[in-house]
Amino acid sequence: MHRKKSRRYGKRKLLKLSLPLLLLLSVLVVSTGCETTEIPDESPYEEILVGMIPDLPDLPLFPELHWKLEENGRYSISEEDADRLLDYRDNELPLYRFEIERYQSELRVITDSLFQNMGSSSSS
């Protein structure tokens, strides 16, 4: 008989403790559920600008050189390999630098336009 009383008392105590918690949770759910938040759509202007970002230029591949060990213990390459290496240094690297500078300037124009658009939309 003593067990039944303790079970009832435990259920009542649990109910007394959980009732305020349930009320608090329901108030929180109702108060936050009633708020509406607008998620602004990105403007088509921004989407167009982001779509205009050019692809990063590919790094030119270093030429494959065939090294050979000379009798004097030094390594050397053939004339064709030396020409490929000079072509890489004199032509491909400067061309890559030009492409990177052009990429940076195009990217700068796009980012400046995006930041300008962000500034004008936040002030209105």
Residue 34 has pLDDT above 80, yes or no: no
The pLDDT assigned to 38 comes to 58
| CA-wise closest residue to 6 among 14, 17, 18 | 14
* Higher pLDDT pick, 121 / 96: 96
d(CA 86, CA 83): 5
> If pLDDT is split at 50, 70 and 90, which confidence band does 62 have?
very high
C-alpha distances in Å from residue 121, one per residue of 45, 50, 115, 116: 12, 17, 10, 9
**Band (45; pLDDT cuts 50, 70, 90):** confident
Answer yes or no: is pLDDT of 55 > 80: yes
Higher-confidence residue: 27 or 73?
73
Sorted by where each begins, the domain ranges of the chain are 1-37, 44-123
- Please give the pLDDT value at position 90: 96
Taking the model in full, what pTM does it have?
Answer: 0.55
Average pLDDT value for residue range 6-26: 62
Distances (CA, A) of 69 to 42, 75, 77, 79, 86: 62, 4, 9, 15, 21
Please give the residue that has the higher pLDDT: either 17 or 72.
Answer: 72
